[in-house]
Structure 1
């Protein structure tokens, strides 16, 4: 049995005391075998120390934080120096798509990371550094009743870029063949409760290819959980230590009796992140339950913790 705790977006490099942003989460993190977050922006030694002091083992660096490839490579070096594994970016296309692999209790967990959100010049190429991409196309379909009611807004349709989807599926299949568990991190989405069509397509394709869990972030809002073929897709973990409010910590157990639990977190007045409790926690989790029910997934809320049935 391996216990994994996952958080959403982390941006602490510009804070006066970066470690203070995460310190209140230590009681929830210290018992896990593996701890994962998405880190946006450059990683300096102080940021790396903040991550390490909270016990973060592995991070995604595949996102749209606007810093040039040279700075991104420097960040990877800082993470290496700190002993924090990373995925989703590298010196070239192949290294950006390579998994971070960590072993616990004799089992290997592979982490892959991709971004659908982008800043110019950040995409990895065969001979140049950058991030692993999983982009989408956007089209606008006229509302079916636009002839009756002129001016009705169009329906927005999105779909994965075919070659990006093919590469992601190939990456997951390769990782699944070589390791015991595969976690796919996706930086994607728009603010709001609903995942876009391309998010559903990528998430389900990753599960079909052998992923045990898909963890989404990037919309800076909490989105639904979907259990697809017995495995969870977390469409939006929201914020962990970022300059926006709510987020989720997800605790997942891999093994004979898999489990998924969710605990809400919130940015405080002093710019730290702390777990919610009581009525405030239940309010956030009831929202998660409502939006997840729209994806045919039952979320049970009790005592500030949400439980999601997985593995069946």
Structure 2
């Protein structure tokens, strides 16, 4: 039996923290493990060791250390979130170690097809801070565009923040300048009434009010019959027109299906492709704001956060079996391209974001993306239905179609050899077909 040695534990702890700062994870694990061995009851050693293991993708080991932290200090800050993250990632790793099982359903009809409509960020009002709920109810926020959402076999939306009546946030010190969102649970019915079948909860606001609200959101969507994807390993499934359709949602955080872990993301989508006829990949990534219209080469950093190498990620998802890839997160639309015949829409922009969003210029433009796929997942048609937001965030159709011209220009500029061709009426054509955008000047970067 080891005799507790607080002095040695402190020495190993200091060395371990320094190694973490230097991104020398193997040394950090060695030192922090020695700290735990010298003094098993030392909580901060176990806490930091859990994070060191997570950097290495050793989530089962992270879970072991944080479970011990829970026993020693159940009120430890951020423990609930860390445990949920580790459990999810460890379960995902275990799932991917098993061979996916192909469905024994009969093959889809030869003429089977599906028409999908997708929208970007939806946040219909928040209780924090006060004064940001629509006075005429959440349904008024999308009343003008609801027919555009409903008219599809399958409708997708990104739920930007939890649907929850409880919980507390540690995200902000000042509620006045707080960008933490929490919509009333009752607002879930508005999504259902608008025809939403598939929901992404993989975004940087889903955990704004902790794991309690995250779970309440999932329970609300379940009760409404809306399939969701977000936490590690989650895949949403719906059946339409004889086709089994899967949707996998990603975000740049290990609390979700992790966009920046390309190897794991590839394995997850590959497994989904075995189990489904059609696979949709959704992702929440990229920088934000009016200066984030373009898709850069390489990784995007935003306020010190790695928001993904989106070209690498989206192409990898198509290679893994995705039939269409749909992005959101920058709060502006981004261009579209075809890769190996699959449509990639890099951002659908803000669709219905009430009260707490900057809606000036391109940030006020939205869209409904329509994509039609055949039984093999091949693109057979698509179009952009232009929308915009007025007042504090009321979504309405845009008769002038401003977003269509913007998308045409962005697609041509960012993807000169693979751009989706978009007609003036919003019809989408594969690369090399349809009209080329006639630009007067490049879109400002």
TM-score w.r.t. the length of structure 2 is 0.56
> What is the 5 A alignment of 1:140-179?
164-179=261-276
2:391 corresponds in structure 1 to 269
User: How far apart are 1:193 and its partner, in Å?
Assistant: 2.3
Q: In structure 2, do the counterparts of structure 1 residues 286 and 166 end up closer, same or farther at CA, with 3 Å as the change threshold? A: closer
Write out per-residue CA displacement over residues 119-145 of structure 1, whole angstroms, 9 at most, x where no aligned residue: xxxx44xxxxxx22223xxxxxxxxxx
Q: In structure 2, do the counterparts of structure 1 residues 310 and 82 end up closer, same or farther at CA, with 3 Å as the change threshold? A: farther
2:363 matches 1:252:
no
Q: In structure 2, do the counterparts of structure 1 residues 184 and 174 end up closer, same or farther at CA, with 3 Å as the change threshold? A: same
Structure 2: where are the runs of 5+ without partners?
A: 1-112, 127-132, 164-183, 299-308, 434-445
Q: In structure 2, do the counterparts of structure 1 residues 297 and 172 end up closer, same or farther at CA, with 3 Å as the change threshold? A: same
CA distance in 2, matches of 1:239, 1:291: 21
Root-mean-square deviation over aligned CA pairs: 2.1
User: How far apart are 1:22 and its partner, in Å?
Assistant: 1.5
- The one of 301, 307, 312 equivalent to 2:428 is 307
Rg (Cα) greater in structure: 2
CA distance in 1, matches of 2:370, 2:432: 14
CA distance in 2, matches of 1:181, 1:279: 30
* Greater alpha carbon shift after TM alignment, 279-288 vs 171-180: 279-288
2:257 matches 1:132:
yes
Q: Which runs of 4+ in 1 moved over 6 A?
A: none
Q: State the SS of the aligned residue for 1:224.
A: strand
* Greater alpha carbon shift after TM alignment, 250-259 vs 237-246: 250-259
C-alpha contact 1:219 1:236 (8 A) present in aligned 2: yes
Q: State the SS of the aligned residue for 1:172.
A: helix
C-alpha contact 2:295 2:414 (8 A) present in aligned 1: no
C-alpha contact 1:258 1:311 (8 A) present in aligned 2: no
User: How far apart are 1:11 and its partner, in Å?
Assistant: 0.7
Write out per-residue CA displacement over residues 123-175 of structure 1, whole angstroms, 9 at most, x where no aligned residue: 44xxxxxx22223xxxxxxxxxxxxxxxxxxxxxxxxxxxx111110111111
2:100 matches 1:100:
no
C-alpha contact 1:258 1:310 (8 A) present in aligned 2: no
Q: In structure 2, do the counterparts of structure 1 residues 107 and 57 end up closer, same or farther at CA, with 3 Å as the change threshold? A: same
CA distance in 2, matches of 1:111, 1:38: 12
**Using CA pairs below 8 Å that are at least 6 residues apart, which structure has the higher relative contact order?**
1
2:187 corresponds in structure 1 to 47
User: How far apart are 1:311 and its partner, in Å?
Assistant: 12
Q: In structure 2, do the counterparts of structure 1 residues 269 and 310 end up closer, same or farther at CA, with 3 Å as the change threshold? A: same
2:29 matches 1:29:
no
CA distance in 1, matches of 2:283, 2:335: 14
Q: In structure 2, do the counterparts of structure 1 residues 284 and 83 end up closer, same or farther at CA, with 3 Å as the change threshold? A: same
Q: State the SS of the aligned residue for 1:215.
A: strand
Q: In structure 2, do the counterparts of structure 1 residues 213 and 268 end up closer, same or farther at CA, with 3 Å as the change threshold? A: same
Q: In structure 2, do the counterparts of structure 1 residues 107 and 266 end up closer, same or farther at CA, with 3 Å as the change threshold? A: same
TM-score w.r.t. the length of structure 1 is 0.79
1:80 corresponds in structure 2 to 222
Q: State the SS of the aligned residue for 2:221.
A: helix
1:20 corresponds in structure 2 to 140
CA distance in 1, matches of 2:401, 2:226: 35
1:56 corresponds in structure 2 to 196
CA distance in 1, matches of 2:279, 2:431: 15
Write out per-residue CA displacement over residues 241-289 of structure 1, whole angstroms, 9 at most, x where no aligned residue: 1133112211000116621211222111252111212363554344344
2:277 matches 1:180:
yes
User: How far apart are 1:23 and its partner, in Å?
Assistant: 1.7
Q: Which has the higher helix share?
A: 2
C-alpha contact 1:189 1:218 (8 A) present in aligned 2: yes
Count of residue pairs brought into register by the alignment: 266
C-alpha contact 1:227 1:233 (8 A) present in aligned 2: yes
> What is the 5 A alignment of 1:191-202?
191=288, 192-196=292-296, 197=298, 198-202=309-313
1:157 corresponds in structure 2 to none
CA distance in 2, matches of 1:298, 1:4: 17
